[in-house]
């Protein structure tokens, strides 16, 4: 451990929010991350939900070396051969029918900015319907349509943003209704309120097929179909933010495929780059032609860069050769069963949900009241890390205390067993701590 480097991190780095650790980190392989003390930590979040084929997969390393021999970066108007190859493969093998025109950029926020810009230019509107619990990025446009975290302190947002409640199977908004009935009723009411407030300048409906930061919420199929119908009836474009759901994470090629609903624009990022910054916005040819004729521009320093495109092709190769979409379903079922067994032993686990290898565990103080166990989540997450397991928890009173579990799709069952054992042990110890009178008084 280098204390001088730890002190340098404290002194010279701007703190950017979210989870942070006192350790520095040295390297990563597969599902294992190593800190500056040489300690191995099992990664149940694929880094920032990005390293779906595992950290530093040999094919990714090989792709970076290949780009080093050819080109990392070119003038933005020079389209590298590898970008054309990636565009063809994404369109013909991974996207729903009709989505064939891509722009390749760096981050999910950028891909969503591009999607929103396309929708506004195509419709000549500016109104966007977004969903509670959503997360689309931190840039100017995307932060205004993200509702999974604090929105205070960033100045006046642009006009035209409207909100509808997230469909929640565990905590339906309308009492006395099933989760599906509640979700559809909330959407209907929200659309009526939006129609009353609309200026007629309608642009887009934007949603993650599974809301990850909102608590790993899986909407009913009928809800997604209703969104498609609502967009069509209002002349709006439907945008799916598939940063976390595309390319096998949920056991399907995309969330659109899983729900049987094709959006007008799909934004891609995390799961395409294998840990490197690669994102895309994909749309139909008629939409692309329309905005091209109107002068659409999204000309960045790193648009169509060859290095990330080479890595993207390597990610798709690994997904195919190692059958990772199928493995996501199989390993995801194994992981879910292990979590359900854990739920049977711990009353504090109120719900286990998700699809494939994107799962959520919600902690409660009581299964009847479903009161979020926020402090228990904090303590247990810290204990997991102490014992060698990295977990990500979202703790908000209005949305619960939910672990997002998204290991690399390449993780072994032995590693899953090890992670579950650590989680079991950490939760047992944390429940004991939380039950002590001294802790309850201090909390």
Out of 18-27, 80-89, 255-264, pick the least confident: 18-27
pTM of the model: 0.95
Q: Which of 214, 104, 105, 203 is nearest to 158 (CA)?
A: 203
Element (H, E) at 34: strand 32-35
Q: How high does pLDDT run on average in the chain? A: 95
Q: Which of 283, 281, 271 is nearest to 311 (CA)?
A: 271
Q: Which residues are catalytic?
A: 135, 208, 241, 244, 270, 404
Q: Mark out the alpha helices in 352-436 (DSSP H runs).
A: 374-386, 413-435
Element (H, E) at 282: strand 279-283
What dotted CATH number matches 59-321? Answer: 3.40.640.10
What is the third-level CATH fold of 3-56+323-442? 3.90.1150
Q: What share of the chain is helix, strand, coil (3-state, %, to 5)?
A: 45, 20, 40
d(CA 233, CA 28): 48
Give the mean pLDDT of 105-115. 97
Give the mean pLDDT of 187-207. 98
Going from N- to C-terminal start, the domains of the chain cover 3-56+323-442, 59-321
Percent of the chain with pLDDT strictly greater than 90: 90
d(CA 153, CA 166): 24
Interval 57-72: pLDDT, tens: 999 999 999 999 999 9
d(CA 281, CA 299): 13
**Rounded to the nearest 5°, which phi and psi values hold at 395?**
-125, 105
Q: Judging by DSSP bridges, how do beta strands 392-396 and 349-355 pair with one another?
A: unpaired
Give the mean pLDDT of 41-48. 96
Q: What sign does the CA torsion over 100, 103, 105, 107 have?
A: negative
Chain Cα centroid distance, residue 393: 13
Token pair for 131: 């969903």
Measured CA to CA in angstroms, residue 371 lies from 150, 166, 170, 367 at distances of 21, 18, 12, 8
Give the mean pLDDT of 402-414. 97
CB 387 within 8 A of CB 422: yes
Question: How would you label 160-172 residue by residue, b for 16+ Cβ within 10 Å and e otherwise?
Answer: bbbbbbbbbbbbb
Answer whether residue 439 shows pLDDT above 70. no
Interval 308-350: pLDDT, tens: 999 999 999 999 999 999 999 999 999 999 999 999 999 999 9
pLDDT-based confidence at residue 17 (cuts at 50, 70, 90) = confident
pLDDT-based confidence at residue 20 (cuts at 50, 70, 90) = confident
């Amino acid at each position: 451990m280098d204390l001088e480097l730890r002190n340098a991190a404290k002194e010279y780095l701007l703190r950017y929010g979210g989870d942070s650790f006192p350790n520095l980190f040295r390297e990563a392989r597969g599902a294992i991350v190593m800190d500056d003390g040489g300690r191995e930590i099992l990664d149940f979040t694929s880094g920032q939900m990005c390293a779906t084929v595992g950290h530093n997969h040999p094919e990714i390393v090989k792709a970076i070396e290949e780009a080093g021999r050819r080109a990392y970066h070119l003038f933005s108007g020079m389209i590298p051969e590898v970008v054309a190859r990636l565009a063809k493969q994404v369109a013909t093998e991974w996207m729903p029918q009709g989505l064939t025109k891509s722009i390749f950029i760096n981050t999910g926020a950028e891909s969503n900015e591009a999607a929103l810009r396309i929708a506004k230019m195509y419709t000549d509107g500016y109104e966007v319907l977004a969903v509670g619990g959503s997360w689309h990025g931190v840039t100017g446009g995307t932060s205004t349509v993200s509702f999974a975290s604090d929105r205070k302190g960033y100045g006046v947002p642009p006009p035209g943003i409207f909100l509808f409640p997230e469909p929640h199977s565990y905590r339906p908004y309308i009492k006395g209704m099933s989760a599906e009935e509640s979700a559809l009723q909330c959407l209907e009411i929200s659309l009526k309120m939006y129609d009353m407030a609309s200026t007629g300048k309608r642009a887009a409906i934007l949603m993650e097929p599974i809301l990850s930061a909102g608590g790993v919420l899986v909407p009913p199929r009928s809800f997604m179909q209703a969104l498609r119908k609502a967009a069509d009836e209002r002349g709006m474009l439907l945008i799916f933010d598939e940063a976390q759901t595309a390319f096998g994470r949920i056991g399907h090629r995309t969330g659109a495929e899983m729900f049987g609903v094709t959006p007008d624009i799909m934004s891609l990022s995390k799961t395409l780059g294998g840990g490197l910054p690669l994102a895309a916005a994909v749309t139909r040819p008629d939409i692309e032609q329309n905005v091209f004729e109107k002068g659409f521009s999204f000309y960045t320093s790193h648009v169509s860069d060859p290095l990330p495109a080479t890595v993207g092709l390597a990610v798709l190769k690994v997904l195919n050769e190692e059958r990772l979409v199928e493995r996501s379903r199989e390993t995801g079922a194994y992981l879910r069963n292990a979590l359900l067994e854990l739920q049977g032993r711990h009353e504090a686990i109120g719900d286990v949900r998700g699809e494939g290898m994107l799962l959520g565990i919600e902690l409660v103080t009581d299964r009847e009241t479903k009161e979020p166990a926020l402090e228990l989540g904090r303590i247990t997450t810290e204990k997991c890390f102490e014992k060698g397991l990295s977990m990500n928890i979202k703790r908000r009173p209005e949305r619960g205390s939910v672990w997002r579990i998204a290991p690399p799709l390449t993780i072994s069952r032995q590693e899953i067993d090890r992670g579950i054992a650590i989680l079991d042990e950490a939760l047992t110890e944390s429940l004991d701590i939380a039950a002590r009178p001294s802790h309850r008084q201090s909390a």
